[in-house]
A and B are shown apart, each in its own frame.
Chain A
Amino acid sequence: NAGVTQTPKFRILKIGQSMTLQCTQDMNHNYMYWYRQDPGMGLKLIYYSVGAGITDKGEVPNGYNVSRSTTEDFPLRLELAAPSQTSVYFCASRPSLAGAGELFFGEGSRLTVL
């Protein structure tokens, strides 16, 4: 009954460090997404993928990279972390046939950059 699993749940980075947020789903969903959620704001789309080997930029991609080598995994890479990247990050997925808005979310990863 795992659904969408994100790791780590919490992380503190120093400015300039790099890290990868892991996301895996066991529902065989083709579409996967990364969002960030800043306090008092809605979710902003960072990157998304419509299937293995295919990724595309969302609304706020700068400072991030993604890869999609398998259907299950969609890691988000932060290079040269900056305080502006302090946020809660959510991974989500959906099957191809579902509507664009019917997403399954992970529990989130809270990142602080100091």
Chain B
Amino acid sequence: GNSVTQMEGPVTLSEEAFLTINCTYTATGYPSLFWYVQYPGEGLQLLLKATKADDKGSNKGFEATYRKETTSFHLEKGSVQVSDSAVYFCALAISSGSARQLTFGSGTQLTVLP
């Protein structure tokens, strides 16, 4: 079956530090990969996506590269801000179609201190 494994949290960083949140996946077929962000008290929002191997998704200074050889989609940001404090979810989907095929990781809590 399909699964997503994220690095354990919580992660605490100082403002302007470099961020990496690891995500690896197991999937049958050729998945699309996503990062969602959940700010305190809010629902999840799509942060970025990549639909095929070697694609790089980017948004708001965050980046993630779809690495088929290592089955990974690690999230990175060069300089985090206090406003980036949130929970980050890695997810995969097998093509378009049934909602059954969207699988989430367990989430990583990020806290950025001023």
| B107 lies within 8 A of A45 (CB) | no
* Bound Cα distance A105, B106 (Å): 17
Residue of A nearest to B89 (CB): A42
Judged by a CB distance under 8 angstroms, whether B97 is at the interface is: yes
Residue B64, interface by CB 8 Å: no
Report whether A42 and B106 are in contact in the complex, using a CB–CB cutoff of 8 Å: yes
Residues in chain B near residue A102, CB distance under 8 A: 34, 46, 49
Interface residues of A in 11-54 (CB under 8 A from B): 31, 33, 40-43, 45, 48
Q: How far is the CA of A106 from the CA of B98 in the complex (A)?
A: 20
Q: Is the CB of A107 within 8 A of B41?
A: yes
A101 near B43 (CB under 8 angstroms)?
A: no
B4 touches A101 (CB 8 A): no
Cβ of B98 and Cβ of A100 under 8 Å apart? yes
A106 touches B43 (CB 8 A): yes
Instruction: Verify if B17 is at the interface (C-beta below 8 Å from A).
Output: no
Question: When the two chains form their complex, are residues B42 and A107 in contact, meaning their CB atoms are under 8 A apart?
Answer: yes
Size category, B interface: 20 to 34
Count, chain A residues at interface, CB 8 A:
23
Chain B residues numbered 27-45 whose CB sits less than 8 Å from any CB in chain A: 32, 34, 41-45
Given contacts A42-B104, A42-B106, A101-B93, contact A58 B45 (CB under 8 A): no
CB distance from B111 to the nearest CB of A (A): 16
Question: Smallest CB–CB gap between A43 and chain B, Å?
Answer: 5
The interface centre, meaning the residue of A48, A100, A106 with most chain B CB atoms within 10 A of its CB, is: A100
State A41–B105 Cα separation when bound (angstroms). Answer: 7
Whether, in the assembled complex, A103 has its beta carbon less than 8 Å from a beta carbon of chain B, the answer is yes
Interface residues of A (CB under 8 A from B): 4, 31, 33, 40-43, 45, 48, 58-59, 90, 92, 98-103, 105-108
Q: Can you name 10 A-B residue pairings with CB atoms under 8 Å?
A: A31-B99, A40-B107, A48-B98, A59-B100, A92-B43, A92-B44, A100-B94, A102-B34, A105-B44, A108-B43
